[in-house]
Amino acid sequence: MELVFLGTGAGLPTKERNVTSCVLNLMAERNTLWLFDCGEGTQHQFLQTRLKINKIDKIFITHLHGDHLFGLPGLLGSRSFRNEAGELTVYGPKGIKQFLEVVLKVSESYIPYPLNVVEIEEGVIFEDEQFIVTTALLNHRVASYGYRIVEKDKLGHLDVDLLTTMDIPSGPHLKYLKEGQIVTLEDGRVINGKDLLKSPDKGKVVAIFGDTKPTPSSIMLANNADIMVHEATVEGSLTEGAEKYGHSSTTQTATIAKQANVKKLIITHISARYELIDNGRLVDECRAIFANTEMAVDFAVFKV
């Protein structure tokens, strides 16, 4: 599992940063990609990576401001030219369905694959045997949501020493024992695979936020996460101005990470007033409060 940042700027694109978009690469886990926000030009950013838009099966929109949304119709349309593109679900705040219906109708865009649009509310919005996605309302000028993605714990590995001690031979039955199933051996013994497994492998937790000023929801959503992705639009000295427009500063974001006890903070959604040369001092402001902080730049990849 890894995070790939396709756009890390706030408001408008610059020569160094495109507007917001981030991929949760789940190719190893489930042969798919999950996209979080889709600012203008996101499909162009995909072309600079090895990621394929036909592998996206879920898109999560945090809020309906253009720098997080305007790339979505183009990406959906381009995906139509990929014969192998399968079903796609778009999650977003109330209004996302109307937006897509109007723009796709007016532009006469042809979408041959099944397209589901889910207008979210707080709580669990997706769950299967591998993952659960929960959302909570943040504090911005429009309805803006954060997403908590939890990978469910995986069965532990077979205890090889225990297999030897119990004189369990090799064979096709090992596959079922690894899955924790009950197996009858050729000698008549009935073995419960769960008794042979080591402790479960703890699943990863990622919290990805839309635009917001500090709110208790952020701390709740990111609690004990392996990675928190949060905006840090401006430096600490501009905190008052950031809050006026529903945003967070570097120092505020770092404080949230500390309060939420996350393992790593990745800051993004950087104001166009800053160039890449400013990255160091913005990160240093965060690290003074929360040491394990990194800044996302376009095409940065972080292992989860």
Backbone φ and ψ for 39, nearest 5 degrees, come out as -65, 165
- Catalytic residue flag (residue 161): no
> Exactly one of 37, 57, 67, 211 is catalytic; which is it?
67
Nearest CA among 124, 151, 132 for reference residue 29: 151
Check residue 301 and give left, alpha or beta (phi > 0: left; psi -120 to 50: alpha). Answer: beta
Strands 190-192 and 182-184: antiparallel
Query: What torsion, rounded to 10 degrees, do the Cα atoms 272, 277, 283, 284 define?
Result: -130
Check residue 300 and give left, alpha or beta (phi > 0: left; psi -120 to 50: alpha). Answer: beta
Nearest CA among 7, 17, 41 for reference residue 278: 17
Within 13 A of 30's CA, how many CA atoms are on the CB side?
A: 14
Q: Which of the residues are catalytic?
A: 67
